[in-house]
Structure 1
Amino acid sequence: MTIPSDELLIGYDYDAWYGYAKKIPVCVDVSAKINSHALICGMSGSGKSYLINQYLARICLRDGEDSIVYFADFKQDDSFSHLRGCPRYYPYDKTIEALDEVYDIMHKRQCGEDTSKYFVTLIWDEYIANILSISGKDKKKAGVVMNKVSEIIMLGRSLFIRLIIATQRPEASGFPSGSRINFGQIIIVGASIESVYSMLMPKELIEEVGNRKFHAGEGVMLWQGSELKFIKVPVIRDEEKMKAICINALTRQ
């Protein structure tokens, strides 16, 4: 099946995979026509990092050579070690620099100083842990950071600014003004955790999960706050190619 140019492959339909052994793509629109901010959740061992690597590679291919990607890696574990050394890779003590760069671009576009319309994407891994760390040292600074994140979520779409946040648990304390539920895509991978579902999904949609037992790389995606999909993340056969795509995106001028 050919995937339209505006759409991004997230995974395969979970029910079709297990019920009929069919690979039916689950794709989402990530153009500026719609809210393409994404919140990716999953506990340790859930396959979250594996999904993020795929997501990064596919978003880079979809947006093209003119796009710019920033990667904020608070935890800085081996999952993204191939990105270290890239100019737009920001490790644990420099993640706020990535946010400030993207925030500055957004405001230059908002005031008309920058009229470019290529996508600028910030991927921020372990966001909540990062906020908690900042808050423990300087609560005022943490508030400033969260307000910038909230502003990007609210204003970024029409200015071609995209935010992809990954975290184990999407605690409300990390998202001011209810911005936690204002992501176009909310993806939860790994074993079902009722408390995480209840943070992000209405009760009637949680009930639709039923008795499905998700393993690593499997889970749910809530699309634009109302449409629920059950997904199985693809296995990448050429991981070195995927890594090369990501490195190029974080390096090119």
Structure 2
Amino acid sequence: MTRNEKFQIQRRTVRRDLWRRWGGVSALSPKVFFIPLYLAGAVFVWSHQDAISVQAERTELISPILEAAMTHALAAYLLAGGVALAVLLVYPFGRRAAHDQLQSIGLVNHAGMAPTLLRKRRNRDNPRVTMWEFQNQSIPLTAWEDKRAAIEAALDVSIAKMTYGKGKSRVLVYAVPAQVSLPEVLPWQDEYLSPESFVLVLGESLLGQVTVNLANIPHILLGGSTGSGKSVLLKLLLMQALRKGAEVCVADFKGGVDYPREWRQKCRMCFTEDDLLYTLDQLAAVLEYRKERLADTGCKDLDAYNEATGENPPRLVFACDEVAELLDKTGRSKEDRERLGKIENRLATLVRLGRAFGIHLILATQRPDANIIPGQIRNNMDFRVCGRAESVLSQIILDNSSAAEQIPKDARDRFITGDGTVFQGYLFDETNALGGAGGVSIQQ
């Protein structure tokens, strides 16, 4: 950027600041003033219609088009003024300001060109969200993500999502005013339970509810440091699975401290590695049985099988609150390592083949150790969520450091998904929420 360009941007910024300071209309779009001006102009032209027509007759050497326009001044004004008004209303107000701000923070291509704002409009699904559409000037989306915080400060917004538009020549920024933020606590209400087959609700983002459909995305990997609310989110998901008729197995090696009596009555609990291996063997046997049944009936997945046969075997959900601690073989005996190897193999089988047969894994970890969770397990966990975490753990869970960058250090129950959606998780009363859930058994 040249010195003259910097000076021009500074001068325009000063003028805009003066407008905001003295205009007194910061909460009201200046575009609204074009409408009364247009109507006032129409009244003026209508009241002087005769005088304009007389002037057209007296003027010599006037073009036929101009003469016709003056003779029918009101109609010409309404037509031309209407087109001009439509252009003014559609043209994104603040286009130059957005360009200057993005250029100021260095969001430019190699030629020094900053993105151009094409239009702004309200999101149909969420009126409080505004979609900014930019011509991105060959700047990759990764560069936008790297400067997310700077873009938010430059445009005075909180960004909910950034994505490509039609093709990669345009970038869509979904944002709300900087004054709008997520609440610190979101109490769970039974009405939030999704009526759809196996859709689980996690919380609310700036764009609305965040959900995951286990029928399409079968496994979930949760991460977060101690006190981030990871265990609460895990229980929220398990509670909904129980209330939707699933059978839930939970591996808890803390002696049941985190899962009191209400949970033990509803879930199958594994307190030792032998119990866990036995449970995983049963789940693997169910998988093989259902595989044969689906092959015999020619069904592609459990939903199709239920519709075809009416048998409706339940979905099975296995959860482990600290899978890294479970799979860590450091300092273990040979016998223990062999047992852990079998557990790891069972988990790998279930995570690889479970989707079609209604078997789902929800694994959580707070340990930033990439060597603990094998790649064949981690790579098959399609839906990933991370709470407050350091960069290493965020990188393990999300394959990027966005959790460390976008979630405040003191936040609780605040999470980010693999696609960059930040949300506040629901907080629920375990005793009351489990009241309508099912019991314990593993059905074929």
TM-score by length of 1: 0.78
CA distance in 2, matches of 1:135, 1:108: 37
Deviation at 1:158, TM superposition (A): 0.6
Q: Relative contact order (alpha carbons < 8 A, sep ≥ 6): 1 or 2 greater?
A: 1
**CA gap 1:35/1:211 in 2 versus in 1, 3 angstroms:** closer
CA distance in 1, matches of 2:239, 2:203: 14
1:66-104 deviation line (CA, Å, top 9, x unaligned): x32211112235221232466722213422222222122
Matches within 5 A, 1:170-185: 171-185=369-383
Partner of 1:233: helix, strand, or coil?
strand
CA distance in 1, matches of 2:350, 2:396: 21
Q: What residue is the counterpart of 1:213 in the other structure?
A: 408
Contact (CA 8 Å) 1:218, 1:232: kept in 2 or not?
yes
Matches within 5 A, 1:55-134: 55-62=237-244, 64=245, 67-82=246-261, 83-84=263-264, 88-93=268-273, 94-112=275-293, 117-132=313-328
Deviation at 1:37, TM superposition (A): 0.5
Match of 2:208, as an amino acid?
Answer: I
Contact (CA 8 Å) 1:73, 1:95: kept in 2 or not?
no
CA distance in 1, matches of 2:266, 2:195: 30
Unaligned runs of 5+ in 2: 1-190, 297-304, 306-310
Unaligned runs of 5+ in 1: 17-22
**CA gap 1:52/1:250 in 2 versus in 1, 3 angstroms:** farther
Matches within 5 A, 1:1-253: 3=194, 5-6=196-197, 7-13=199-205, 16=206, 24-31=208-215, 34-62=216-244, 64=245, 67-82=246-261, 83-84=263-264, 88-93=268-273, 94-112=275-293, 117-132=313-328, 136-137=332-333, 138-169=336-367, 171-189=369-387, 191-203=388-400, 206=401, 210-213=405-408, 215-222=411-418, 227-236=419-428, 238-245=429-436, 248-250=438-440
Contact (CA 8 Å) 2:266, 2:439: kept in 1 or not?
no
Match of 2:373, as an amino acid?
Answer: F
Contact (CA 8 Å) 2:368, 2:393: kept in 1 or not?
yes
**CA gap 1:135/1:179 in 2 versus in 1, 3 angstroms:** farther
Contact (CA 8 Å) 1:40, 1:186: kept in 2 or not?
yes
1:194-224 deviation line (CA, Å, top 9, x unaligned): 0011113344xx35974441512112122xx
Identity percentage over the alignment? 22
Contact (CA 8 Å) 1:147, 1:176: kept in 2 or not?
no
CA distance in 1, matches of 2:251, 2:390: 26
TM-score by length of 2: 0.47
Contact (CA 8 Å) 2:317, 2:359: kept in 1 or not?
yes
RMSD of Structure 2 on Structure 1 (CA): 3.0
Deviation at 1:155, TM superposition (A): 0.4
**CA gap 1:135/1:35 in 2 versus in 1, 3 angstroms:** farther
Deviation at 1:135, TM superposition (A): 7.2
Structure number with bigger Rg: 2
Partner of 2:364: helix, strand, or coil?
strand
